Structure 1
Amino acid sequence: MDTLRCMQAFAAVADHGSFARAAEQLQVSAVMVGKYIQQLERHLGAALLQRNTRRQRLTEAGAAYLAGCRQVLEQVQQAEASVAGLQLQPRGLLRVSAPSTWGSCVLAPALASLLQAQPLLNIELDLSNRTVDLIEDGFDAAIRVGPLPSRELVARPLPPYAMSLCASPAYLQRRGTPQLPSDLAVHDCLGHLAWRGGHGWRLASGEPVDWEPRARLSSNDGQALRQAALAGAGLVLQPTALLGEDIAAGRLVSVLEAYLPVPRPMHLIYLPDRRPRPRLQCFVDFLVERFPVSPETWSGSTEPRSASAQRGAA
């Protein structure tokens, strides 16, 4: 029995959740992957995986054995790298998913310096607010806004995702400055179509604000709402990433700051790998350095409880 090859097959199945995907990584057939697992289970005298028609799950014995497998495979990789003397420069294509607004306003401009520093690296930046699966959708990393439902992904904290509520100086001079959330009932509020259905603006007061009767302009695009606010059309509630520069320049004036929604956590997520590829590692290092968080925000990387990837998000 080729123990090392069997370990590689077992770790690949645990990582990808199926024999077929493990076979693609190892460049063998799914049948051969199954044989490797069977040989390993016979050798150990214990079942390592619980199988169904769609996915594989680790047994208790499998979870315990996987940790040892990873250590062995890591040592083999390190030994091979030291013999070859390879410290590869980041190169190739890195696929990243990010939220539309933060990705276009913050991440995309920042990536210019990374691309200049790494001339062999290419980045495909997919901007969408949909939830992505890192494995099924083929992403190396994603930016997720909101709480993390799983510890099975590595998560590095980024500065929280904050919102701003503001209007142009001309609008506030014409209509007055709201002092309480209830004042919004007599103001023109620029509505996002994603908030249709009575959701309203849920400010820190805890009560949703009924802005819909005064939403004389609605759009499915935050940039369009920003432009309308700059032109004096009304009050806009959008991410600070979109509005921050206008507020700093005085083109927009922040209001009701004491009632703004609580900033949501934001993380860079990627699949666990004790020896990440250079292109992923340089991207992680770049984001952590470029967007530092305060010590109280940092909670460390999550340790994978199993190698199956849960759904990431953008």
Structure 2
Amino acid sequence: MNQLQSMRVFVKVADLGSFVGAAGALDLSTAVVTRHVADLEARLGTRLLNRTTRRLSLTESGSTYLERVRHILDDLEGVEQMVVARNHEPVGTLRIVAPVVFGLHSLAPVVQSYAARYPDVMPDVTLADRQVDLVEEGYDVGIMVTRHMRSASIVTRRLTTGYMTVCATPAYLAQHGTPTRPEHLLGHPCLSRPSEQGGDERVFTGPEGEVRVRPSNAIAANNTEMLRQFALLGMGVAILPSYLIGRDLASGRLVPLLGDYRLPQIEITIAYPSRLHLPAKVRTFIDHLVEYFQPGQPSSRDRSATASAFAVTALDPAHDLPEADLHSEAVRPVRNAARTRSAASVSASSPI
């Protein structure tokens, strides 16, 4: 028989002084209750109860055993209650992983608003420009591109769709001209991370259909924040995630280009290790992310211009993939004027 159940039965028999009383309290038959106590005594090799026709009494060993068993069962109940509470109430440490530039530019306000809502949760944020195995490395939540999941046990939830933005400084365009078609990029130095598939080829979709070009990079860099700095210095035409340059577009420091064309989109997802018995801290953080990044939600309307250029990025360092259009209030006028997706968005390039 189950040893813990036998211990519970023994405690109930000792408290009530009766096998029949314990059987009624535990909704068991008297024979089953008797068997549990007998199994305990056989396991321990000692008598725990003195039995007479009129009453039961504890032996010396039974008294000692009862005292210790009470502590064990109380501790076990406390642990179970703690685990249940952690699964139903948002408490404990929440381990989050995201790419570096996304974390530096976009993640902090989301975490701050979540922590304010759930003060018993302590966010533990890791920024990593590499593929991450959530299960092996013990993360609760990751922000990444679905197709780069490395574990079959990973569960994903769609957050938004991503795009990239072609842009340059007004001074650069005044000196070198404004490209209006993807082919025009061949005459300009390009600032972007290379795509893993197809080398540096870029595939645009426009009025005439698909257009493929292979612009030449002006300089190599493994970080899109560095490429942004180069773009602001007028070193060429940049292809960058708009969440990174949302404020630059809104202020006019950078100008969105090729408004009639769009680079391939990609689905940006939240990832977590399992759907079974999902802890409340994970469930509420996922819901908070979705609420925060979906257009029309109160949280998105309440953002400041600085905090509005948010997005989600992938964890794959080999890709420079599209970022999500999040309908940022800060950049909507620029986007509408240029007929391009220049809203706060998501890059799927990991080292960004």
TM interval, shorter chain, is: 0.5 to 0.7
Who is 1:246 aligned against? 248
Distance 2:275 2:265 in 1: 30
Structure 1: 5+ residue stretches without partners:
6-79, 295-311
Decide whether the 8 Å contact of 1:188 with 1:233 is kept in 2: yes
Alignment of 1:61-76 (within 5 A): none
Q: 2:232 aligns with which of 230, 233, 247?
A: 230
Letter in 1 for 2:293: F
Decide whether the 8 Å contact of 2:195 with 2:201 is kept in 1: no
3-state SS of the aligned residue for 1:262? coil
Alignment of 1:151-230 (within 5 A): 152-192=153-193, 198-204=199-205, 206=210, 208-212=212-216, 215-230=217-232
Deviations 1:181-232 (A, max 9, x none): 11111112124367699423333365542222xx332211111111121121
Who is 2:101 aligned against? 101
Decide whether the 8 Å contact of 2:92 with 2:122 is kept in 1: yes
Decide whether the 8 Å contact of 1:167 with 1:236 is kept in 2: yes
Decide whether the 8 Å contact of 1:103 with 1:127 is kept in 2: yes
Who is 1:265 aligned against? 267
Decide whether the 8 Å contact of 2:194 with 2:200 is kept in 1: no
3-state SS of the aligned residue for 1:139? coil
Distance 1:162 1:276 in 2: 31
* 1:293–1:263 Cα change, 3 Å: farther
Q: Give, in angstroms, the shift of residue 283 of structure 1.
A: 0.9
* 1:194–1:124 Cα change, 3 Å: farther
Decide whether the 8 Å contact of 2:202 with 2:214 is kept in 1: yes
Distance 1:275 1:189 in 2: 48
* 1:86–1:256 Cα change, 3 Å: closer
Q: Give, in angstroms, the shift of residue 273 of structure 1.
A: 3.5
Q: Give, in angstroms, the shift of residue 265 of structure 1.
A: 0.3
3-state SS of the aligned residue for 1:158? strand
Who is 1:110 aligned against? 110
Identical counterparts, % of pairs: 33
Q: Give, in angstroms, the shift of residue 266 of structure 1.
A: 0.6
Alignment of 1:30-41 (within 5 A): none
Distance 1:152 1:177 in 2: 48
How many residues are matched?
A: 221
Deviations 1:80-139 (A, max 9, x none): 769x88886423221112233333322223211112222332222222342222211111
Distance 2:189 2:237 in 1: 6
Who is 1:130 aligned against? 130
Letter in 1 for 2:105: C
Decide whether the 8 Å contact of 1:157 with 1:293 is kept in 2: no
Who is 1:143 aligned against? 143
Q: Give, in angstroms, the shift of residue 259 of structure 1.
A: 2.4
Greater Cα radius of gyration, structure 1 or 2? 2
Letter in 1 for 2:111: L
Distance 1:178 1:233 in 2: 15
Q: Which moved more, 1:218-227 or 1:124-133?
A: 124-133
* 1:234–1:148 Cα change, 3 Å: closer
* 1:85–1:189 Cα change, 3 Å: closer
Deviations 1:119-177 (A, max 9, x none): 33222222234222221111111112254778853322112122111001111111111
Decide whether the 8 Å contact of 1:159 with 1:293 is kept in 2: no
* 1:157–1:151 Cα change, 3 Å: farther
* 1:146–1:184 Cα change, 3 Å: farther
Distance 1:81 1:93 in 2: 18
Structure 2: 5+ residue stretches without partners:
6-79, 297-313, 317-352
* 1:293–1:137 Cα change, 3 Å: farther
* 1:147–1:293 Cα change, 3 Å: farther
Decide whether the 8 Å contact of 1:166 with 1:237 is kept in 2: yes
Decide whether the 8 Å contact of 2:202 with 2:212 is kept in 1: yes
Distance 1:189 1:254 in 2: 14
* 1:206–1:95 Cα change, 3 Å: farther
